[in-house]
A and B are shown apart, each in its own frame.
Chain A
């Protein structure tokens, strides 16, 4: 009992340390950004990327439904904010819940067929949701999207905070980002995460012990859907507009690219991938030749193929390799000094 309490306290401490470090990094970074809107966008897009990585890295399922689940969160929050003047927290919560419900239904159909068929099915469902959004003009605005979302007043008890200035909103996004990030870290360390990892290594063995892989994958899918929902709801606030293109499978593809760029099997890769992608897109679009013809996508595609072929660990993976190399060198140094240091 005592040790359990101790480890819980240790976990809390680690989380607090993590928060302090991240805040210390993220806040100064804001002032370096050339475009202030980009800072918040990177953190927001890291959330669907995180959900993609969680699913691919821990269950081996490659989902193409991140775009639609992201859009469900965005539309739910957007509709509540623009038409019903809902409280911002209520809107975000509803967006998350709605994405979770959609993921629950989608997962029911998709999880049964694992592997590559899962990817195809999530892709089909993604397009189904896009199609509904595109056609249901009276509710979703169809091709026009949803306008009139305002983030100007967030009332907390007696306080009213104006989220309109980009810096205020950036802080607001950091809070949610850290919340989700810590949640995912905790989830991975939890017994649930351990079961998922065990299942990824050997589904047969996990089944033999008595875990039902389908149920666990389903839950993981729902959780990852809800994380997409957080991102979507924040994105609606960020753009103060929601468009149908979010639900298209190209968004899912973009998320996949971000995940691979960052490193598809580490949660830290989500933030790096989203940052690199958004910087790259911004940079490529600065050239008129590239942005007008859509050729920046061509460059992006080439970069992506090269990453998949030659740098499978992504940027974070490369970073880790360098660290490993440095550590190895250090260890060698120790060994030469006569110290025998096993492990």
Chain B
């Protein structure tokens, strides 16, 4: 018998996971839309964020250390992204896109194995912060507070990024540099700086996603980013490239489908992601909210 409670709970978990994936996909989509780079190292940045939080929690020994750590992931990962863009990617603009993909693939290997070298390959557990440990009664079900919190914070961050990119003046500069770099340059916009900061922003989003998710992962391992980056790629494809709302919609849809499939047969949860992607691509090759034949 399949009980309704299990399904509802899985739908919630699905939404929670979906929001997290949307957070990653937003960063990925931003980087892809602005720089035209598919960032394979995105999952590694997510993993770095999780490890950074773990390290900070160990180092800072006072109540609320988790929140400080989570807050610090943003500048830290932005710095990492900044350096990566300056040293590696900036030399690759104007080269065939395949080289950019491959360089991020190499970067992924380096970050992942570097972390394995420093932290070892044994899973490192990170508990849920004690102030958010309990459950909350939502009427339909009792749901862990921390999961609910990641959902809310994730949605808030994605909304903020959307507002920043689509509505603010700085966002207009970013969009202008992406759509027509030549004209943007003649208007006095330094597109190189814009690219650098966009990549830093995307990296920070991946990092905070990793930090938020870290307590929910049984134990941190250097390979956690690999599966995550694949799922966020699928979210980007489903939602449509370059669309933040698409990333959110795609993430939540994928999360719910994945959660429900998991109730019936656990191994199917990964399988249905691919099936969902296949079906959506058959009927809407540009993704749910993609802009026509954007290439």
| Interface positions of A (Cβ within 8 A of B) | 56, 60, 62, 109, 112-117, 119-121, 123-125, 127-128, 131-132, 135, 249, 253, 256-257, 260, 264, 293-295, 297-298, 300-302, 304-305, 308-309, 312
Contacts and interface: CB of A to CB of B under 8 A. Distances in A.
A292 to B, nearest CB: 10
Interface stretch (B62-70, B124-132, B172-180, B271-279): B271-279
A316 B270 CA distance: 41
B74 interface: no
Interface in B240-295: 241, 267, 270-271, 274, 277-278, 281-282, 285, 295
Is the interface on chain B under 10, 10 to 19, 20 to 34, or 35 or more residues?
Answer: 35 or more
A123 B116 contact: no
Given A114-B295, A304-B109, A124 B98 contact: no
Nearest to B109: A301
Given A124-B234, A256-B105, A301-B107, A293 B117 contact: yes
Contacts of A125: 274
B274 A128 contact: yes
Contact of B106 (A112, A127, A264, A301): A301
Contacts of B98: 56, 60, 62, 119, 264
A299 to B, nearest CB: 9
B206 interface: no
19 contacts: A60-B96, A62-B98, A109-B278, A109-B282, A115-B295, A116-B101, A119-B98, A119-B101, A120-B236, A123-B230, A128-B274, A131-B271, A131-B274, A257-B106, A260-B102, A298-B110, A298-B117, A304-B109, A312-B95
A62 B101 contact: yes
Interface in B64-120: 88, 91-92, 95-99, 101-103, 105-110, 112-114, 116-117, 120
Contact of A116 (B38, B103, B274): B38
B181 interface: no
B52 to A, nearest CB: 19
Interface of B: 32, 36, 38, 88, 91-92, 95-99, 101-103, 105-110, 112-114, 116-117, 120-121, 230, 233-234, 236-237, 241, 267, 270-271, 274, 277-278, 281-282, 285, 295
A331 B283 CA distance: 59
Given A60-B96, A116-B97, A119-B38, A298 B113 contact: yes
Nearest to A112: B285
Contacts of A257: 102, 106
Contacts of A294: 113, 116, 121
Nearest to A260: B102
List of 9 A-B pairs having minimum Cβ-Cβ separation, nearest first: A301-B109, A298-B113, A301-B110, A305-B106, A304-B106, A62-B98, A128-B274, A297-B113, A301-B106
Given A119-B38, A127-B274, 20 more contacts: A56-B98, A62-B98, A116-B38, A117-B237, A119-B98, A120-B236, A124-B274, A125-B274, A128-B274, A131-B274, A135-B267, A256-B102, A264-B98, A293-B120, A294-B113, A298-B117, A301-B106, A301-B108, A302-B106, A309-B92
B105 A253 contact: yes
Contact of A308 (B38, B102, B277): B102
A72 to B, nearest CB: 16
Given A120-B236, A128-B274, A300 B109 contact: yes
A305 B36 contact: no
Contacts of A309: 88, 91-92, 103
A119 B241 CA distance: 14
B264 to A, nearest CB: 14
A297 B101 CA distance: 18
Contacts of A300: 109
A213 to B, nearest CB: 13
A120 B113 contact: no
A113 B233 CA distance: 15
Nearest to B108: A301
Contacts of B234: 124
B271 A120 contact: no
A116 B92 CA distance: 15
Given A116-B32, A127-B230, A295 B117 contact: yes
